[in-house]
Chains A and B, each alone.
Chain A
Amino acid sequence: MSAGTVAVERRGGSRGGLRLFVHQLRGEQLVFWRSREAAFFIFMFPLLLFVLLGSVYSGKIYGVPASRALLAGLIGYGCANTAFAGLAIQLVIRRENAILKRLRATPLPASTYVAALLVSTLIVFVLQTIALFLIGRAFYGTPFPGDPGSLIGAIVVGTAMFAALGVATASVIRSAEGSSAIVNFILLPMAFLSGAFGPTLHYPAFLRAIGDVLPLKYFINLVNAVYLHGETIWSKPEDLIVIVLWGVAGLLVAVFRFRWEPREG
């Protein structure tokens, strides 16, 4: 008995863990790209916005060509859309459909599941960012990032923060029907107030004050610094701190409120 248990533990060790992670990551990618709604609203929508708004905006914003500033803002919007809104909606649906409950009865560890889901989300967003740069280059002559390392760092930090907020939001939403409406009710105003679609300088002061506490604003600040002004990710420690604080807040809510089982019953 004990010998058998040890053997199973060995096999389920780090190599087995890595195999499970890769298996689940491939599964998550398959589930994501198979869903036309997810592929459109999460992946395609920011790209379409870029094509549309890019042809409307002209002149300079923040002292750089408008299309460059718009690209930076849409990286911010895309990150919140993918990691916050997309993840929250998917998680609520999976919880209410008892997929999460069903998975709990399998040998797949919860940590492996969560890790695969987060990395899968990051992959989607990284692909989206690459697509934004390719579209910008092709249509509006925007340059590729001068400091890709800092941009990748910003994207990883931002995705982690929005994913924590997405899981937290999923854990307080009660039903699958309402999830999309609630999440978009948060996302779209946040995107406008944070300057994802253009500068907020001419907004009324109270709207700007609201924007000043939202996490997306600080993520866009960071992307602006790195992409528009050629600074490193460490040049804006105050933005990084706010992003980390929002992430920790989301994580705390997620840890204490997250449920694997449907709310009803």
Chain B
Amino acid sequence: MTTTAAAPDIVTTEHLSKWYGQVIGLNDVTLTVPSGITGLLGPNGAGKSTFMKLITGQLKPSKGGITVLGEPIWRNPKLYFRIGFCPEQDAFYDRMTGLEWITALSRLNGVGEAEAGAMARRALDLVDLADSAGKKIGAYSKGMRQRVKLAQALAHDPDLLILDEPLGGMDPIARRKTIRLIKDWGRAGKSVIVSSHILHEIESMTSNILLINQGRILAEGNVHQIRDLIDEHPHTVYIKADETRALARQFLTYDDVLSLKFEDDAVVVQTGRPDAFYARLTELAASGELGTIHEVTSPDDNLQAVFQYLVKA
């Protein structure tokens, strides 16, 4: 990946490796991540989360070195003033309100109670949770829980946001807003490293990607170069909604929908053109014509097929 003097590298790794006993999590990775938004794309178990945990200093490298924002991250907590991390798993107390939780976490940035409260309110407003700030997190939907996690990451206005699968489980509208938020963050001169196993999600935020599989960086650079490969494979989308049958009838009118089936209160669709499908899905959710769409997820076997193809090619 090329860098310029005006845009310093935010992450630099040198022969970075991480083993978990006999299992290798990340294998001899040497790279530089430039400022701006960078997507980390790979199927489940590819090493994305390991890479994220190394970048956030939560794991010690088994071998090699890593610097973040120009400083070693391992055992360097002062760097966390400049970093915001949104983990993949839920991480909060259900009995606390969103405002209480973000305020408590913001306090760890060395600010007073009043300022932490103000930071928390601003962050919740930014992720469209201002109206639910006083609700207990236990009563939040999956998408709201994702957004409250995102809010805690950006509450202290970090230079670098590290987001591990931030869109998982969000409804189409929240997804669109979050993508916009991430892009705005990038436009404001901040850096974002965002992981996903869904190409079009990453593509909607940035064209700069790192492709990772089996602990190795397979490719880095512009997303369009692998775009055609991805498009050859059908993409599965799992949609949890109130009116699954009405949605299914609508989907059947789309020529890119290859198949669909019902699972409990969800409809599972295979599409040949995910971009077009997601765009129409967002419009449908926004119009509310066919009831509420609660959750949209995509299993990572979409990408797995492409990676198998890439590795074997």
**Do A and B interact with each other, yes or no?**
no
- State the B residues within 8 Å of A (CB): none
- State the A residues within 8 Å of B (CB): none
